[in-house]
Amino acid sequence: MASLRDKRLFLLDMDGTIYLDEQLFDGVPDFLSRVRETGGRYLFLTNNSSRGVEGYIEKMRRLGIETAPDDFLTSVDATVRHLKRHLPGKRCYVFGTRSFCDQLGEAGIPVTTDREDSVDVLLCGFDTELTFQKLEDACILLGRGAQWIATNPDWVCPTWYGSVPDCGSVCAMLTRATGRQPVVIGKPRPAMVELALERTGFSAEQAVIIGDRLYTDVLCGVNAGIDSIFVLSGEGVRADIEKYDIHPTWVYQNIKRVWEDMR
pLDDT range class, residue 162, cuts 50, 70, 90: confident
Query: Which long-range contacts does 163-166 make (Cβ < 8 Å, 24+ apart)?
Result: 163/235, 166/47, 166/126
Q: 73-117, pLDDT tens digit by residue?
A: 999 999 999 999 999 999 999 999 999 999 999 999 999 999 999
**Per-residue model confidence (pLDDT) at position 158:** 75
pTM: 0.84
Burial (CB < 10 A; 0-12, 13-18, 19+), residue 65, is middle
Percent of the chain with pLDDT over 70: 100
Residue 211 pLDDT greater than 80, yes or no: yes
Average pLDDT of the residues in 21-30: 95
Backbone angles phi, psi at 44, to 5 degrees: -90, 120
How crowded is residue 257: how many other Cβ atoms within 10 Å of its Cβ? 19
**Per-residue model confidence (pLDDT) at position 82:** 93
- One-letter amino acid of 181: Q
pLDDT range class, residue 157, cuts 50, 70, 90: confident
**Per-residue model confidence (pLDDT) at position 159:** 81
Spatial separation of the C-alpha atoms in residues 254 and 241, rounded to whole Å: 16
pLDDT range class, residue 1, cuts 50, 70, 90: low
Residue 217 pLDDT greater than 90, yes or no: yes
Find, among 19, 47, 254, 21, the residue nearest to 155 by Cα. 47
Sheet order of strands, 227-231 included: 72-74, 41-46, 9-12, 207-211, 227-231, 250-252
**Per-residue model confidence (pLDDT) at position 9:** 98
Residue 124 pLDDT greater than 90, yes or no: yes
Q: Which domains does the chain have, with CATH numbers?
A: 4-47+187-262 (3.40.50.1000), 76-184 (3.40.50.1000)
Residue 10 pLDDT greater than 70, yes or no: yes
Residue 26 pLDDT greater than 70, yes or no: yes
pLDDT range class, residue 263, cuts 50, 70, 90: confident
Q: Is the N-terminal amide bond of 153 cis, ω within 30° of 0?
A: no
User: What is the SS3 assignment for 48?
Assistant: coil
Q: 247-262, pLDDT tens digit by residue?
A: 999 999 999 999 999 9
Packing angle, helices 255-262 and 28-37, rounded to 10? 30
